[in-house]
Amino acid sequence: MKRIKTDLLVIGAGSGGLSVASGAAQMGADVVLLEGHRMGGDCLNYGCVPSKALLSAGKVAHGQATAEVFGIANVVPQVDYGAVMEHVADVVAQIAPMDSQTRFEGFGVRVIREYGQFVSPHEVLAGDHLIRARRVVIATGSSPLVPPIPGLDDVPYLTNETLFDLREAPEHLLIIGGGPIGMEMAQAHVRLGCKVTVIEGARALGRDDPELADLVTGRLRDEGVEIAEEALVARVSGRAGAIEVAAQDGRVFSGSHLLVAVGRRANTERLNLTAAGIETTKTGIRVDAGLRSSNSRVYAIGDVAGGLQFTHVAGYHAGVVIRSALFGLPSRATDAHIPRVTYSDPELAQVGLSEAEAREIHGDKLEVVRFDYAHNDRAIAERKTGGFAKVMVVKGRPVGASIVGHQAGELISLWALALANRLKMGQVAAMVAPYPSIGELNKRVAGAYFSPRLFDNQVVKRVVRAVQRWLP
């Protein structure tokens, strides 16, 4: 048995764990990093990176099929699904060196390719290594949630961890789950020539503002995706190439392949958390505002902490933990300024409070301002006029922003900045955006907050007339 003492032990080499390990090591801490599977975690290997690469391929195919509006003849795209998936694999391979063991060892991190489990409140066993650390950061992420649907164990099904291994296009892809993953993969596959049916037990994109979600689901339906809502799955049956999903209301959906995309579960089962006195909840490890677990020496970050499950949240958590674990400074995490994006076409992005949430909290104090893509000149030039931005404002400060449309995921960053720094609408309106750009839309929606105050205000009009009489 090899015994190791270290300042910081990081369990999990996904985005959050890698950020903590590299940052701490480069600032002088002695760091050990454990990873029993792939460096880079879910985001690099099964999530963010491959899914966006697949969406990009679908967007190219869709562009060929809908070029007529630009004066270019539409063509039926000739899709080689196997080659598309090789493109996806190549994108992952190009990014992988940034998350590699070699790179992090170059930062001074000791990388051990084993899973870790607690054997006491202060010690973790990883293979033949027994590690005692001053502080431990659990960053083990999450895995696809597979619900206990009758018959599911008897038929072949895909999750995001196996979908990208396909090399032959599904003839008809059934997707259980109408959240962001399900809807993104539905659009990518229908654009690549597959038939697609989404089976959702409630409302598709149900976490999002219905006004925005309806625009996205409407676009997917127009492109050929069948979206069955209020379709709680009762059972699954069939065999490879011939699968049936039966809903509780009697509807039956038939297809060749099945993708299960109903959510995520925190990866805690290997950790033996009881030995460390670490409490859990239904969603993950119980943490306080500083991301400490019930064992004060142990932090949990990212998906395993049971909150928002996004790569950028894990990266944000890393900074919170480094401040506390390395410098002993008070540090708290909040999700008030954390954006989320569904990378469909059009994209759907949200930060802060939605309109419904803001009305419930702020009542009559709330003002909602909006601006349509149809009035943005760059959007008109690119034929991307479907969509709008709306910002929820209380006493001159934004408390939330919702955007659906072209590059919504890029546009939302400005509102995340505004919420993080408590900016006022006037500060956003003072920004000078280049013309013509999609980014100008943010300035225009901020301007929409002031327009009635300036142009529909009789006091302003009287002042202007009075000043004009006095000016030489």
pLDDT tens for 55-87 read: 999 999 999 999 999 999 999 999 999 999 999
**Bridge partners, residue 351, by sequence:** 401
Indicate the fold that domain 340-455 takes in CATH.
Enolase-like; domain 1 (3.30.390)
Task: Specify the pLDDT at position 73.
Answer: 98
Report whether pLDDT(462) > 90: no
Domains of the chain, residue spans: 2-39+100-144+265-327, 152-263, 340-455
144 or 470: which leads in pLDDT: 144
Query: Of 283, 243, 227, 267, which is closest to residue 149 (Cα–Cα)?
Result: 243
Rounded Cα distance, 416 and 237, in Å: 45
pLDDT in tens, 125-177: 999 999 999 999 999 999 999 999 999 999 999 999 999 999 999 999 999 99
Residues in the chain: 472
- Pair of tokens at residue 173: 């892809």
Task: Specify the pLDDT at position 1.
Answer: 84
pLDDT in tens, 376-390: 999 999 999 999 999
CA angle at 141 for the pair 267 and 275, rounded to the nearest 5°? 45
Maximum Cα–Cα distance across the chain: 91
pLDDT in tens, 309-353: 999 999 999 999 999 999 999 999 999 999 999 999 999 999 999
The mean pLDDT value for 103-127 works out to 97
Report whether pLDDT(408) > 70: yes
Rounded Cα distance, 395 and 280, in Å: 39
Rounded Cα distance, 369 and 377, in Å: 19
- Matching CATH number, 2-39+100-144+265-327, of 3.30.2130.10, 3.40.50.150, 3.50.50.60, 3.30.540.10: 3.50.50.60
pLDDT in tens, 282-314: 999 999 999 999 999 999 999 999 999 999 999
E strand residue ranges, 295-454: 298-300, 340-342, 347-352, 366-372, 388-394, 397-405
pLDDT band at residue 454 using 50, 70 and 90 as cut-offs: low
Q: Which parts are annotated binding residues for FAD?
A: 52, 116, 140-142, 303
- Pair of tokens at residue 260: 């299960």
Q: Write the DSSP assignment of 234-290 as a string of letters.
A: EEEEEETTEEEEEETTS-EEEESEEEE-S-EEE--TTS-GGGGT--B-SSSB---TT
Question: At 135, which amino acid appears?
Answer: R
Measure the N-to-C terminal CA separation of the chain; round to a whole number of Å: 91
pTM, whole model, 2 decimals?
A: 0.94
Task: Specify the pLDDT at position 312.
Answer: 95
Task: Specify the pLDDT at position 460.
Answer: 66
Q: Which parts are annotated binding residues?
A: 52, 116, 140-142, 177-184, 200, 263, 303
The mean pLDDT value for 33-46 works out to 96
Rounded Cα distance, 287 and 71, in Å: 56
Report whether pLDDT(221) > 90: yes
Task: Specify the pLDDT at position 14.
Answer: 96
Task: Specify the pLDDT at position 455.
Answer: 61
Query: Of 16, 335, 38, 48, which is closest to residue 181 (Cα–Cα)?
Result: 48
Dihedral angle of Cα 328, 330, 333, 337, to the nearest 10 degrees: -120
- Is-same-fold flag (2-39+100-144+265-327; 152-263)? yes
Task: Specify the pLDDT at position 469.
Answer: 78
- Pair of tokens at residue 405: 């449309």
Task: Specify the pLDDT at position 88.
Answer: 98
CATH superfamily of 152-263: FAD/NAD(P)-binding domain (3.50.50.60)
Q: Estimate the share of the chain in helix, then strand, then coil, as percent rounded to the nearest 5.
A: 40, 25, 35
Whether residue 436 is preceded by a cis peptide bond, meaning omega within 30 degrees of 0, is yes
Task: Specify the pLDDT at position 424.
Answer: 97
Report whether pLDDT(95) > 80: yes
The mean pLDDT value for 215-223 works out to 98
Q: Which parts are annotated binding residues for NAD(+)?
A: 177-184, 200, 263
Rounded Cα distance, 383 and 372, in Å: 13
The conformation of residue 174, written as its DSSP 8-state character, comes to E
Query: Of 139, 128, 125, 113, which is closest to residue 276 (Cα–Cα)?
Result: 125
Task: Specify the pLDDT at position 464.
Answer: 67
Task: Specify the pLDDT at position 451.
Answer: 77
Q: Which residues contact 115 (CB under 8 A, 6 or more apart)?
A: 34, 36, 37, 126, 270
Average pLDDT, the chain: 96
Query: Of 150, 221, 146, 208, which is closest to residue 176 (Cα–Cα)?
Result: 146
Are 290 and 331 a contacting pair, CB within 8 Å?
A: yes
